Structures are given as C-alpha cells and as structure tokens.
Amino acid sequence: MKKTVAFLLVILLFFLFGCFNKIQKQPHSSRQNAESPTSDSLLNEYLRNLSEYEGTVREYGKAASYIHMDEKFVIGIIYPKTDLNSLNTAIDRWVNETVAMYKAETDTAKSLATPAELTVSYESYLINNKETGIRMKGTFASLHLAHPVSIIKTFNADIASDSLLKLEQIIGNDNLESFRTLVADTAGVEQQAIDSEFLDNWLLTGTGMEISLPQGKYTASYEGTKTITFDYAELNSHFNLSLNGVSHEDSPDNQTPDQNSTPPQNQSSQQTVDPNKPILALTFDDGPSVHTERLLDIFQGHGGKATFFVLGSLIEGREGTLQRIANEGHEIGNHSWNHRQLTTLSHNEITDQIMMTNAKIYDVTGIECGIVRPPYGSFDETVQLVGQELGIAFVNWSVDTLDWESKDAEAVHTEIISNAKNGAIILCHDLHETTVDAMETVIPQLLAEGYQLVTVSELMSFSHSTLEPGKMYYCQ
Ligand SMILES: [Zn+2]
C-alpha cells in the first residue's frame, strides 16, 4: 500500500515539475530559441493565419509611424513613406491636419479616465508599376464621444510624373456626372445626399476602383463606412479610362509584393557580461524604421547590445532590418501589432495584438519572443492575465528619455548620461533621426564610463532566474 502511495507521489511530482518547467520556460525563450513552434499550438495558429491577420495589402511605400502620447491623448499612426514627393507631402499634411483636428477635439473634453486614442493604418496598391493607390483608415475613440469616429482618406498618384491623380483625369471631365450617378445607384444613395465630397475617397487597386462612403454621411451611421467596387473592365465599358497601368483589353496582373525569403536565423553572438561591472539596457521602441540600420551600424562600430521593441505591422518591407537586429546579437521585443492602447481592448484583441506580432517575428527570424512592452506603457489586470496565459512577461523602463518630445540629440544625450545607473532600462525610440544621432555619442560615452550595454533579457538574468509570465518589470 505504502509503495503504491509513494509511486503515485512520484508520478504526481513528475507531472507538477513538467507543468512548472513549461510555465517558466516560455518567457525565456525569447533568445536563441531554435525549437520548432510545433510545441506552441497558439503560435502555430497565428503563423498559419499570418497573411489573413495582416489583412492589408502593402504593395507600395514602406511603413513609417507617428506616435505621440500625453495625459489626454495617445496617437498611433502607421503611414507609408514612398519615393514620390507629391505623395509624401500630401500624406504628411493630412497626418498633421488629422492630428491637429482630433487634438482640438480632445482639448474640449474634461479630464478623461482613459486618454482619447487616434489609430490609423494604411493599405497601398500598385497598378502595373504605373500608378499607386493608398488608403488611410482608422478610428478616433474617446470617452466623451458616444461612438468611435471612423477615419478614411485616399491618395492616388502617377509614379512616372510624381503627381497626385484627380478622379476627372481618369474618368474624363465630361463623365464625372454619370460616374456620380453610377456610384449613387450602386450604393443606394439618394441624389439629394450627393455633395462635392461624395467621390473624395476613391482608390485605385490592383483590380479596380473602390469608392469609400464615410460613415453616416451618405448612408445610415450604423452601416459604417460603405465601399463600392468596380473592376477596371466594367469601368472601361462605361468610360474610356485614362490609366497607364491598365490596358484597355484586360485587367492588370495582380502585383505580388517582394517577398523576402531569407531563412529564419537564430540570435547569436551573445556577449560575455562581467557580473562585477555595471550593466544598462538601452531599448528602442516603435520600429523597425528607416533609421534602425544606422543605429545598428553605430552599435557595430562601438560594441554593446540593445533591445528593439518592434511593431508587428512595421516589419513587412523591413524584414532584412529585423534579421540584422537578431543576427548582430541584439534582442527583439514585442510592442504590439499597431500600437494600440492595450488597456482599452478586449481580452481577445490584446491576445491578437501580441500573438500577431510574435508570429510575424517568428516568421522572419525564427525567434519566439517572450517579452512585450505595451504601447504607452499601459498595463492593467486584463493585460496581465493575457500575459500569464501566453507565457510572456512585460518590460517597461526606469528612465524615459522623452526623445519623441524633445527631438533633440543633445537633450537625449544629457537625459541618458545624467540618469544612467547600474540596472537601468532606458526608453528611446529608433523612429526619430535625432535619437539615432544622440547614440553616436551616448554609446561610446557609456562604454567609456564602464557600463556594459546589455539586452533586457541579459540584464534581467542577473537578478531573476526566470521572468514571471504576466508580470511587469521596470529595471533590474
Ligand atoms: Zn511605442
């Protein structure tokens, strides 16, 4: 009898040890994890559906981000930077105007328990490399408004002449009236509702033209934004389209964006850290950006490692940069898919934000990321619970350089050097050129002062044998 009890106890202990080991292992799998994700069915599921989750087509331009936060208002805008001046100028102006408009709207509200949030993302299409169509789409949500506001804006440009396209150039001036009627009939919109803005949001895609009718203006507000689609052949049968990318015989070929098919790599070149010397973790959020490669060059020149908390939606088109981060021994952290304030999202939406990004990171680098920095540092019990379920830990910071506000290399330098201390985690953003400028002097000076520049996981490994899933860490 005693033997049986002892045997059962041994079995139970084995079982418990197995569970414990599994829970503890996950957050540490962020580095050098060469395992296949088959052990992680959730990651597998997100990997399988990656193209679906990404959703948006991005055939033209490279994603850039505009991030801002203050007590009343947080902003996360993902927009394209293209080779066309005309397009970049128009998009920049629209972003600035949109931010200013909702900033004014937020200023009218009394103090809010949760900051108002402006979120915008984009899709872009190429029409046989001749024209491009870009649609910015987002929402503005604030507790002082009954419902979130839908935001939509389209841009179309001719690539060879670097100029924005007008609808009448394509449809023909004389055809505008009948085109308006066609759209109204197709959408079921009353003639009297049609005003001068009715056709503002038209978009060239790979297969045809889409016209978005904003929420509530031409249709009932419960219908949301309504989109009417015509393929090019159909439009050509009505009008003689003047589009370089569209031959009059057939629809354009579907463009497939460049796929970077470099095989996944493992993070390597882990540095040796002397436990008797001070350590410090420089962290860079909101990338990868156009400035990230230069930052990597600076680290390569002076030595030291950093942690990059990346946005999943910015990886497409910058796969090489992400692979370089990993290959050069830096750490990749997760900063959500498109910079949403996680504390305003549902449990499932938080899971999506984290797992979509983890799937994208795994897809490009083969690394299972175990650390998340929530956008704006926003954290609550629901976020914590999701972290526990997913086996990931959260990492904020102990020193905020406010680099996004100062946009001044000198100020960033002073901020870091005067607050540097053993075990600190320093918050910077590699989407600002001035921050990368600052690193030209910050990195050599910190090294000269005897600091070892380590990744977040290296820093943590000195004080914590494992990172607890769901827990928030601020410094060593
Ligand atoms: Zn951020």
Confidence at residue 458, expressed as pLDDT on a 0 to 100 scale: 92
Confidence at residue 451, expressed as pLDDT on a 0 to 100 scale: 96
67-79 as b/e, with b when 16 or more CB fall inside 10 Å? bebeebbbbbbbb
Please report, for the domain that includes residue 85, its CATH number: 3.30.565.40
Question: To which residue do tokens 């607050």 refer?
Answer: 419
Confidence at residue 462, expressed as pLDDT on a 0 to 100 scale: 82
Rounded average pLDDT per 10-residue block, the chain, 476 residues: 52 45 37 44 86 76 90 93 96 96 88 87 92 94 85 95 92 88 88 85 92 80 78 83 65 39 42 87 96 97 97 92 96 96 95 95 94 96 96 96 94 97 96 96 97 95 86 91
DSSP state of 169: H
Whether residues 93 and 158 share a domain: the answer is yes
Question: To which residue do tokens 């973790």 refer?
Answer: 281
For residue 288, is the peptide bond before it cis, meaning its omega torsion is within 30 degrees of 0?
yes
Confidence at residue 56, expressed as pLDDT on a 0 to 100 scale: 75
Whether residues 309 and 441 share a domain: the answer is yes
Whether residues 229 and 113 share a domain: the answer is yes
Strand 202-204 relative to strand 163-164: parallel, antiparallel, unpaired? unpaired
Whether residues 187 and 292 share a domain: the answer is no
Distance CA 218, CA 190 (A): 8
Q: Is residue 35 part of a domain?
A: no
For residue 342, count CB atoms less than 10 angstroms from its CB and return exposed for 0-12, middle for 13-18, buried for 19 or more. Answer: buried
Q: Is residue 215 part of a domain?
A: yes
| HSE toward the beta carbon, residue 214, CA cutoff 13 A | 20
Whether residues 333 and 432 share a domain: the answer is yes
By the 8 A CB rule, do 32 and 266 touch? yes
138 alpha carbon – ligand 1 mean position (Å)? 17
217, two tokens? 């203006």
Choosing from 238, 266, 297, the residue where a domain stops is 238
Question: What is the largest distance, in Å, between two alpha-carbon atoms of the chain?
Answer: 96
Whether residues 290 and 211 share a domain: the answer is no
Whether residues 296 and 212 share a domain: the answer is no
Confidence at residue 342, expressed as pLDDT on a 0 to 100 scale: 96
Whether residues 232 and 283 share a domain: the answer is no
Catalytic residues: 285, 429
Choosing from 209, 238, 267, the residue where a domain stops is 238
378 alpha carbon – ligand 1 mean position (Å)? 10
| HSE toward the beta carbon, residue 122, CA cutoff 13 A | 32
Whether residues 224 and 289 share a domain: the answer is no
447-465 as b/e, with b when 16 or more CB fall inside 10 Å? eeeebbbbbbbbbbbeebe
427 alpha carbon – ligand 1 mean position (Å)? 10
- Residue 65 belongs to what H/E stretch? strand 62-69
User: What is the span of the domain harbouring residue 134?
Assistant: 58-238
| HSE toward the beta carbon, residue 148, CA cutoff 13 A | 15
Whether residues 212 and 285 share a domain: the answer is no
Q: Is residue 21 part of a domain?
A: no
Q: Is residue 128 part of a domain?
A: yes
Number of domains comprising the chain: 2
Q: Which residues surround ligand 1, an ion (CB under 5 A)?
A: 285-286, 375
Please state, as a whole number, how many other Cβ atoms lie within 10 Å of the Cβ of residue 9.
Answer: 10
Confidence at residue 36, expressed as pLDDT on a 0 to 100 scale: 40
Residues 6+ apart with CB under 8 A from 472: 379, 384, 393, 394, 395, 396
Distance CA 34, CA 113 (A): 43
Strand 149-158 relative to strand 163-164: parallel, antiparallel, unpaired? antiparallel
Q: Is residue 28 part of a domain?
A: no
68 alpha carbon – ligand 1 mean position (Å)? 8
DSSP string across 82-100: -S-HHHHHHHHHHHHHHHH
Whether residues 198 and 283 share a domain: the answer is no
Q: Is residue 33 part of a domain?
A: no
| HSE toward the beta carbon, residue 242, CA cutoff 13 A | 13
Question: What predicted TM-score, i.e. pTM, was given to this entire model?
Answer: 0.71
Per DSSP (E only), the strands in 290-423 are 306-310, 331-334, 371-372, 393-395, 399-400
> Residue 431: left (phi > 0), alpha (psi -120 to 50), or beta?
alpha
Choosing from 211, 238, 265, the residue where a domain stops is 238
Please report, for the domain that includes residue 338, its CATH number: 3.20.20.370
Whether residues 217 and 304 share a domain: the answer is no
271 alpha carbon – ligand 1 mean position (Å)? 27
Q: Is residue 10 part of a domain?
A: no
What are residue 139's DSSP bridge partners? Answer: 119, 150
Q: Is residue 19 part of a domain?
A: no
Confidence at residue 35, expressed as pLDDT on a 0 to 100 scale: 41
Local structure of 458: helix, strand or coil: helix
Distance CA 65, CA 336 (A): 13
By the 8 A CB rule, do 352 and 340 touch? no
